[in-house]
Amino acid sequence: MEPDDLYTTRTCFYLGHYGLALEDAERVKFKVRNTPHLQTEREELICRSHLAQNLSVNASGSSPAIQMLLLLENSSHKSKDDVILEAQTLLHSPQAADSSSTQLYAAQLFMKYGMTREALKCVHLGTTMEHLAACVHIYIKLDRLDLADEHLQLMRQADEDATLTQLCHAVYCLACGSSRAEEALYAYQTLSEQYGPSPMLLNGMAVANLVMGEFVAAEGMVEEAIQAASEGGKKEQADALVNAVAIYQNLNKEDKVQESIDALKMGHADHPYVQNLLTVEAALQRVCAQYA
């Protein structure tokens, strides 16, 4: 089947090339204007690329999917309970009944709060490649590699060469540990050679090298990922810094460990890693105070 006009936009977004995704979305603007579903998807991809780069979402649509993306953007400025209530209301609205996009974005919102069960409910019956990919990631997070593999096989049956399939294969191999880390590294390298290195792909290669015990190679990759992510892609930068902490610890570079932790606290205070770290530090201080 020939790819549609959004194939390149979609691929760039999946690979973390958000700037290129926005450029291509502009290129195909007039090509998709007479195809409603592609026009809708184009607008959503633009919003998602802006979110990934920590930019404001300027959306003109009022569909449940766009509203869910706007909720994702504004979630840090609202209480968790209010955000979840709004998300549930959107999910159960009549307009969202047949919207696979709304379900997908709701799952991403729930995952942000660690609500894996609610996220899985949104996508476990989905048949799109993105729904299947979301299931793979959720099951990996739940340590259910058997179920993650089942959904990965469904993706392969649908399109073995799809970018999402290759990315999920790499993530699954990393979850399997050192025995399959080399497969993950090869997958990331192949995508990087084909489409160019992005912070996401560089970070993936860093993790693969880390899992294999190749700490020097991992250090080079993660530093390149951090540098590349500084131009956009807040999540990728935070994840790369988290991985940098582990890599520098294995290389006994305590100064760089602290430098990475400080960068995380300064620029990514809402990241789960930072939140958990602050909780542990506070607990340690309370214990130390007892013996002061």
Q: Which domain holds residue 51?
A: 1-61
Q: Taking residues 16-42, report their average pLDDT.
A: 93
Tell me how many domains the chain contains. Answer: 2
Statement: residue 1 has pLDDT above 50: no
Pick from 61, 76, 94: which residue ends a domain? 61
Statement: residue 15 has pLDDT above 80: yes
Q: Taking residues 132-148, report their average pLDDT.
A: 97
Residue 206 placed within a domain: yes
CATH code for the domain in which residue 270 is found: 1.25.40.10
Residue 235 placed within a domain: yes
Residue 169 placed within a domain: no
Q: What is the pLDDT of residue 217?
A: 97
Residue 8 placed within a domain: yes
Residue 83 placed within a domain: no
For residue range 170-184, what is the model confidence (pLDDT) as tens digits? 999 999 999 999 999
Statement: residue 61 has pLDDT above 70: no
Average pLDDT score over the chain: 92
Query: Taking the alpha carbons of 190, 193, 196, 200 in that order, is the dihedral positive or negative?
Result: positive
Note the helical H segments in the chain: 7-14, 18-27, 36-52, 64-74, 80-91, 100-112, 116-123, 129-141, 145-159, 163-175, 181-195, 199-212, 215-229, 234-250, 254-267, 272-290
Pick from 9, 41, 61: which residue ends a domain? 61
Pick from 13, 38, 61: which residue ends a domain? 61
Residue 41 placed within a domain: yes
For residue range 266-285, what is the model confidence (pLDDT) as tens digits? 988 888 899 899 999 999 99
Cβ neighbours of residue 91 under 8 Å, at least 6 residues apart?
Answer: 64, 102, 103, 106, 122
